Each structure stands twice: as C-alpha cells, then as structure tokens.
Amino acid sequence: MTVCASRRHTRKPTVERHEIMELLSQLKLAGMRAAYDEVVAAGVRAQHPFQRIFGELLLAQLADHRARSIAYRMGVARFPVMKNLTEFNFAVSPVNEGLVRELHDGGFLATQRNVVLIGGTGTGKSHLAIAVGANCVRNGARVRFFTAVDLVNQLEAETRAGKAGKLADQLVRVDLVILDELGYLPFPVSGGQMLFHLISRRQDDHGTARPADPPLRHSRNRQRELALQKPNLRPVPRGSPPAAHSASPRASLCRL
C-alpha cells in the first residue's frame, strides 16, 4: 500500500509599512524609523540589494544614538551657554591659536593635564573653556561645568545636609571639570578648604602623584595649611589677552 503525502506551501502574509513602523517604535529604533521611507524608497529605485538597504538603516540608527548621547552629556555638563571655536575671532585676539586648537582636540585628557586660562575681563576665557569642553563632549568625554562660587556653595550645602562627599564621588568619574571664575573668591575659608580637598581627591583618585613636600605629622595638615593661606594672585590688566598654560596632572580646565 502506498501512502501519498502532499504538503501545502502557505505564503506568509506581507508585513505592511505601518506594522514595520510599530515594530521599530516598540524596539525603540527611532533612527531607523525616521529614515525608513527615504532609505527604502531610494534603495528600491536604485535596485540595491537588501543588505545595503538594511546597512543604511543601521547607520541611521547609529547616528541617531550618537546624537542622543551627545545631547544627554551636553545636558549633564550644564554649560551656561553654548560656545564654539568658530565663533571666536582669533584675528583680533593675540591668544595662541595653535595651542587653543590643540586643546580643542581634547588630547590633554589622555595625559590628564590641567589647563589654566589667564586674562583680563571680557577677553574670551569662558568662551574658549566652554568651546573646548563642548568639543570634548562631542568626542565622548564626560564633562561638568561650574563657577567656583557655585561649586563651593554646593559643597557647603551637602555638608549641612549631612551628605558630604556625594558630589566628590560624582566628579571623580568625570573626565573633565571646568571651573569658571576661579580668580574671584568671595567665599569663606571653609569653602576654600572644601574646594581644595575636592581637587586633591580628584588628583588622588586619578592615580597621579602630588609634588614632593616635606613630611608632616598628619597627611592632611599640608592640605589644611594651603587652604588657609591667602591667595597670591597678581592682578591682570583689563583687556589683556587670555593665556593658556598647561599645568600639573589631573584633567580639568580652569579659567582665572
């Protein structure tokens, strides 16, 4: 006896465009969803293979992911305004353009070097600091911007709330800390001590050595002594150009 078995070949239903859009939304693939119509239509007209069309959709998703990541880290950085290097007029400023552009590339982060911008009021120090910091964010770095007074106020507030050290724990995981208006010190000695210890902690946690000092009976005596000293700052003539200097290790960008 012979048994004949026949198989039915059923065609799977075609997935409609609105269903694809819904699936992309559920998977949170906003970049692919936004580029879908344009990429698919262009690929069909040019008779591109499926692999190329799908690859272009993946590239659109990657670009969207990078843009969202940059936007998020820009928000975390808390720049007061956004500045770009293209907006700075080097023609009317004797600032070292080559050094500024080198800092703008962010190479000093890898070597954990400090940068101090020194100059008179209105000479573009904050502009350059923000432009450098923003470009570091675009290159993937984690950046945080403070004015020195705001940072001290936050340190004092968390100390009064019994949460001392919380902000320091956050900043040791940041690649670049920008301290603006560091030359203006309208805060008490206690605030200066907090700021000094915070900077010292960032230096310690990044594994860089401090300059050699004579041994003292207690390791923190040296910090306490320096924090209590009066700042020895020379007045800078109004209108004098900002100068960028590479200082000791520990990546942070300061503006005096």
Specify the CATH number for the domain of residue 140: 3.40.50.300
Backbone φ and ψ for 236, nearest 5 degrees, come out as: -100, 130
* Per-residue pLDDT, 168: 79
Residue 174 lies in a domain: yes
pLDDT 10s digits, 126-142: 999 999 999 999 999 99
pLDDT at position 231 over 90: no
**How many angstroms separate the CA atoms of 56 and 40, rounded?**
9
Q: How many CA atoms lie within 13 A of 220 on its CB side?
A: 6
Average pLDDT, the chain: 77
Residue 121 lies in a domain: yes
Are 97 and 160 in the same domain? yes
pLDDT 10s digits, 195-220: 656 666 565 555 443 443 333 344 44
Are 167 and 239 in the same domain? yes
pLDDT 10s digits, 4-21: 555 555 566 788 999 999
Only one residue has tokens 């080097």, namely 90
Are 248 and 131 in the same domain? yes
Are 139 and 223 in the same domain? yes
> Do β-strands 143-147 and 176-180 pair in parallel, antiparallel, or remain unpaired?
parallel
**Number of domains comprising the chain:** 2
Which residues are CB-contacts of 2 (< 8 A; sequence separation ≥ 6)?
none
pLDDT at position 240 over 60: no
Per-residue confidence band for 161, with pLDDT thresholds at 50, 70 and 90: confident
**pLDDT mean over 213-231:** 40
Per-residue confidence band for 194, with pLDDT thresholds at 50, 70 and 90: low
**How many angstroms separate the CA atoms of 108 and 10, rounded?**
63
Residue 9 lies in a domain: no
More confidently predicted of 169 and 12: 169
More confidently predicted of 66 and 236: 66
Which residues are CB-contacts of 227 (< 8 A; sequence separation ≥ 6)?
189, 192, 193, 196, 197
Are 175 and 240 in the same domain? yes
pLDDT at position 31 over 90: yes
Are 162 and 38 in the same domain? no
pLDDT at position 178 over 70: yes
* Per-residue pLDDT, 251: 55
Are 147 and 38 in the same domain? no
DSSP code for 181: S
Are 45 and 123 in the same domain? no
Are 115 and 139 in the same domain? yes
- Name the residue range of residue 23's domain: 17-72
pLDDT 10s digits, 73-106: 999 999 999 999 999 998 888 888 999 999 999 9
DSSP code for 115: E
Are 153 and 62 in the same domain? no
pLDDT at position 72 over 70: yes
**pLDDT mean over 177-202:** 66
More confidently predicted of 33 and 151: 33
Are 250 and 201 in the same domain? yes
Per-residue confidence band for 51, with pLDDT thresholds at 50, 70 and 90: very high
